[in-house]
Structure 1
Amino acid sequence: MAATEPVIEIREVTRTYGEGPPALADVTLSVRAGEAVAVLGPSGSGKSTLLNLVAGLDRPTAGGVTVDGVRVDGLSEAGSARYRRAKVGMVFQFFNLLDDLTVTDNVLLPAQLAGLPRAEARRRAAGLLEHLRVDRHAGAYPGTLSGGERQRVAVARALMNRPALLLADEPTGALDTASGEDVRKLLAELNAEGQTIILVTHDRVLAESCTTRTVELVDGRIVRDTEHATAVAR
């Protein structure tokens, strides 16, 4: 896919729950391949709803969501699972690593679910751990690692199937300042290497320091869409 083509197309999307106000209201958003976009806003602004729609974990009440050529809102439950395995890597605030598995085995999980041959999966996992500078912890368990190291392992797991899109939901929210800075630099490095990233956060400093564009939501609507300097590891 060329760097200027959209990897995400969200068209006139509304998501309502019950009779309350919409979580998202007539949102249209396009994200090009290679962009790093921060979705910024207060609690209740619709950030998590937007992320869930892109991930295929939720469906819009109206409108359409297309990611890397896949019409996500029209997929079955099984189709959504296949889509996530093939197209999306996800990083969460609290890592979501399995404490009874080693670092390597945590990273291998997506490849196992996708049916990647074991030898190829192990080569890919080892390469990711080395690239993300946590290879010395390959045989360790997550509970022995620092918060920043665990988030690096979580990023390695998210990248295991070479997804078109990396989704990060408050990835520094559970980290101390030093670990948060470590993850911020990592996200900037990944984007500089060409990874498309959607980062959901309430932290404006994080949003503006490791992404190329900031989209601000208030009450389910986009109120500002700002491009800024290319993300670099500062």
Structure 2
Amino acid sequence: MPSNRVESPPPRDLARPVPFRMELRLLVLCAAFECGLLAFLEKGTRCLSNFQARKLCHAGTGLMLLQLDSRDEHTRYFVYMIGLGSLALTWEVHPKLKPFRFGKARDIGMTVYLLVMLLWFSLSLPIHVLGPMFFADPMGAVVGKYLSSMKDKGVVNPVWWSRGGVTKTIGGSAAVLVFTMITFAGPATIPERLLVGIVAVLAEAIGGAYDNLLLVLVIVGFRMVLNNMQFGSFALRHDGPMVHGASDLVIGPVPQKA
């Protein structure tokens, strides 16, 4: 005889979806990394100079940001907290808040870096486009300073730019060129990367305290022009879908197929 028993539905899994847990785990790891990095740089006065700490913060924070997807809402809130908190310290919005030891009150360079970061995530733009700002700029300063310190050992690192209190050396600018070529968001040929690197070197020299801003304008401008040449649109494109499985996001007009 047929059974009249009605099978109860399987219990619902009340846990969060796996992609959300993966995303949350990534944010926790990034938060731990950033807090640990800042604590080490702030307290490590015996092993790191202010200059070294500043450049490590510049590149280390950039490395952390490159792990994130600006299209995700939770990620944007996380970046907002970091950026706004750092701006509050830099601009001393409260008497008890003081800048990082490797910065200074109302630091223009740090302010530009943070504002670019906040704007980029607020517009959900692909973060990998900013790679040269994260690495080329600090590596230029580190390499240039190191080579200049080797003068007593016969290392020649001539100055090619010295205006408005800004000094650029051949070695430092060569590092900017190389790291811009390496980190410039593709697709791009070697000649195209070389051209971007040369213009980035000039922008970094002319920019002074606003070198990060000019560098961003150069790399973003070139990326948009190359996108238009290659795909028929100036849009900045993300590399792939979000962890949640959303389709690829394009910032800007989508070219129509013929």
TM over 0.5: no
TM-score by length of 1: 0.28
Task: Please tell me whether Structure 1 or Structure 2 has the larger radius of gyration of its CA atoms.
Answer: 2
Larger relative strand fraction: 1
TM-score by length of 2: 0.26
Q: Report which structure shows greater RCO (CA 8 Å, sep ≥6).
A: 1
